[in-house]
């Protein structure tokens, strides 16, 4: 009869579902918050497998547990970082975008870019950086991109072409 130190995080229904699963002869697997003997909490990936005898009667349970606290914390930090980026990026009043260095395709654009350039988000994400430049400016763009450095770089003025065909002049800050 395996005993789990219940953390108090999961309700009775959680444990009832776990026991119903293993007592019916099926494998149960889930991430849980467990409690150590000293009372501290930790995240655990737990798999419980019923073991049957020759007659098919469940005689034992094989439990395999792995402490995944560090992985869960890293995932949470990554989510928080992505949310901070999203808030800074999406809420920025200046047009901003992220593009693929190899294909020059837009990967993400903020609302200000959508509003300023006249493309919908879906339209923007089907474009390349070269699509918002007048054709005779593309060679200079390609030359500039070939010389790009990994640090913050300011350049301009550049000519950009809006969806309606108008040309605007912009100063670019890239990183």
Q: Could you tell me the sign of the dihedral formed by the alpha carbons of 169, 170, 171, 174, in that order? A: negative
Give me the count of residues in the chain: 175
What pLDDT does 45 receive? 95
Instruction: Give pLDDT, residue 146.
Output: 83
In angstroms, how far is CA 82 from the centroid of its own chain? Answer: 7
pLDDT at position 143, please? 86
pLDDT for 157:
87
- pLDDT recorded at residue 118: 97
What torsion do the CA atoms of 22, 25, 26, 32 make, to the nearest 10 degrees? 10
Low-confidence ranges of the chain (pLDDT < 50): 1
Query: 51: exposed, middle or buried (C-beta count within 10 Å: 0-12, 13-18, 19+)?
Result: exposed
Say what the pLDDT of residue 2 is: 52
Q: What is the pTM of this model?
A: 0.58
- What does DSSP say about strands 153-161 and 106-109: parallel, antiparallel, or unpaired? unpaired
What was the pLDDT predicted at 165? Answer: 95
Residue 45 has which token pair?
Answer: 């990936």
């Amino acid at each position: 009869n395996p005993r789990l130190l219940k953390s108090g995080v999961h309700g009775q229904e959680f444990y009832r579902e776990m026991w119903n699963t293993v007592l019916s002869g099926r494998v149960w697997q889930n991430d849980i918050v467990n409690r150590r003997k000293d009372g501290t909490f930790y995240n655990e990936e737990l798999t419980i497998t019923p073991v049957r005898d020759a007659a098919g009667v469940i005689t034992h349970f094989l439990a395999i547990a792995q402490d995944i606290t560090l992985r869960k914390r890293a995932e949470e930090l990554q989510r928080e970082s992505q949310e901070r980026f999203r808030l800074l990026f999406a809420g920025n009043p200046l047009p901003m975008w992220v593009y693929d260095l190899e294909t020059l395709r837009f990967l993400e654009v903020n609302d200000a870019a959508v509003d300023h350039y006249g493309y919908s988000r879906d339209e923007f994400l089907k474009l390349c950086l070269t699509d918002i430049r007048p054709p005779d400016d593309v060679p200079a763009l390609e030359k500039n991109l070939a010389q790009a450095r990994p640090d913050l770089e300011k350049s301009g003025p550049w000519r950009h072409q809006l969806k309606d065909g108008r040309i605007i002049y912009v100063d670019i800050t890239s990183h």
